[in-house]
Amino acid sequence: MKRLWSALRNFLLFFAIVGFVVTCSFLLFGASVSLSEEDVRAFAPMVFFNVLLLSALFAALDAVRRKLTVDRPVREIRKALRRLQEGDFSARITLPSSSKKEFKEIAASINLLAEELAGVETLRTDFIANVSHELKTPLAVIRNYSTMLSAPTLSDEQRQEYAVTINATSRRLADLITNILKLNKLENQQIYPSVAEYDLGEQLCECLLSFEAFWERKHLVIETDIAENVRIRSDAELLSLVWNNLISNAIKFTEEGGTVTVTLTATAHHATVTITDTGCGISPEIGPHIFEKFYQGDTSHAMQGNGLGLALVKRVVDIVHGEITVESAIGKGSAFTVKLRRLPDA
């Protein structure tokens, strides 16, 4: 009904315009050649018919133009939006070259939005798969060892070993849930920095010493070059998440007998922390994605982790207005560098 009314309205508009032009032209022509009243009456039906024909032709041409430049783009945009609403993020809009510039810009924006939604959907799917694996594995370990604990023939040494395993596994499970909750709060800006002045070198040493048992177990060489009296004004608790995650990753991915290095250097306005390892390194394919939420380069899950640590690191560094970069090569190790603003020397 709307299309019919629109076509009728266009026809009447063209009829009025063409009729006015042709009638004025006819009257001027008649006055110039001194047509008689009978001639005017004879020509009037022909003029009316021509006006009607021209109006219909203009209305048809306008309908075709509107269909190509307006109706089709609108139909394609509505179709794509309907598919996006139904969860089909592969929907894309392809408009004819005759479409208006405004419609092309709208289509380009919707296509970009669809790509972003598709990326988020992929991350969500990966997150569910990764977290499901990370939850199922420790739960299976806890269930199996707790079942074996009930066996009456176990020795005291075996019972103690199984209890230690259950305790360590449950701690890993708790850490996973804690990281998920922290990342959710950081993403939704429910954590606000509690700013205070403190010595960055002391904090790095404390974080590093908390992993002493882990590096001794793997016989790693720990090297440090930490400048003294480098003070910053930031949230110490949030930054401890950064150092703990980076040091933990360096130890985790370094083979037995390798080296982990922690350095702190300072300029007049900045403090730079670099944590380097001689581990497996990061491939060029994985490198651009390591700070993405829930991304895991090791799809085999051979290394314990859930893809949340570096996402937490990146979010915290952004919150404290710092910068983080990484340099890595396969088989040679990785170097994570965090740059923060520092307080001037007293």
- Quick one: DSSP state of residue 255? P
Pair 207, 237: CB distance under 8 Å: no
- 164 with 205, same domain: the answer is no
- 202 with 337, same domain: the answer is yes
Asked if residue 153 is part of any domain, the answer here is: yes
Asked if residue 100 is part of any domain, the answer here is: no
Question: Where a domain ends, among 71, 88, 105?
Answer: 88
Asked if residue 146 is part of any domain, the answer here is: yes
- 20 with 48, same domain: the answer is yes
Crossing angle for the helix pair 37-66 and 2-33, to the nearest 10 degrees: 150
Asked if residue 140 is part of any domain, the answer here is: yes
- Tell me the C-alpha distance between 325 and 339, whole Å: 9
Q: What is the pLDDT of residue 38?
A: 57
Q: Per residue of the chain (346 residues), what is the pLDDT tens digit?
A: 545 545 555 555 555 555 555 555 544 444 444 545 555 455 555 555 555 555 555 555 555 656 656 667 777 888 888 888 887 878 888 877 767 777 788 888 888 888 877 776 666 666 666 666 667 777 888 888 888 888 888 888 888 888 888 888 887 777 777 767 766 666 666 556 678 899 999 999 999 998 888 889 899 999 999 999 999 999 888 898 899 889 988 998 899 999 999 999 999 899 999 999 998 888 777 767 677 655 555 543 444 544 567 888 888 888 888 999 999 888 889 999 999 998 876 5
What does the buried/exposed string (b/e) look like for 236-251 if buried means 16 or more CB atoms within 10 Å of the residue's CB? bebbbbbbbbbbbbbb
- 59 with 181, same domain: the answer is no
3-state SS class at 261? strand
Range of the domain at 12: 2-88
Q: What is the pLDDT of residue 208?
A: 92
Asked if residue 346 is part of any domain, the answer here is: no
Number of domains in the chain: 3
- 296 with 182, same domain: the answer is no
- 182 with 308, same domain: the answer is no
Asked if residue 214 is part of any domain, the answer here is: yes
What does the buried/exposed string (b/e) look like for 180-212 if buried means 16 or more CB atoms within 10 Å of the residue's CB? bebbeebeeeebeeeeeeeebbebbeebbeebe
Instruction: Give the contacts of 227 (CB within 8 A, at least 6 positions apart).
Output: 201, 264, 265, 266
- Tell me the C-alpha distance between 119 and 157, whole Å: 50
Question: Where a domain ends, among 167, 187, 207?
Answer: 187
- 28 with 138, same domain: the answer is no
- Tell me the C-alpha distance between 189 and 319, whole Å: 9
- Quick one: DSSP state of residue 34? T
How many other C-beta atoms lie within 10 A of the C-beta of residue 89?
A: 18
- 217 with 307, same domain: the answer is yes
Asked if residue 103 is part of any domain, the answer here is: no
The DSSP bridge partners found for residue 232 are 198
- 205 with 294, same domain: the answer is yes
Asked if residue 157 is part of any domain, the answer here is: yes
CATH of the domain at 251: 3.30.565.10
Question: Where a domain ends, among 67, 88, 109?
Answer: 88
- 47 with 142, same domain: the answer is no
Q: What is the pLDDT of residue 58?
A: 59
Nearest to 247 by CA among 336, 156, 173, 142: 336
CATH of the domain at 130: 1.10.287.130
- 214 with 328, same domain: the answer is yes
CA 333 to chain CA centroid, Å, is 27
Cα dihedral sign for 285, 288, 294, 298?
A: positive
Question: Amino acid identity, residue 268?
Answer: A
- 252 with 303, same domain: the answer is yes
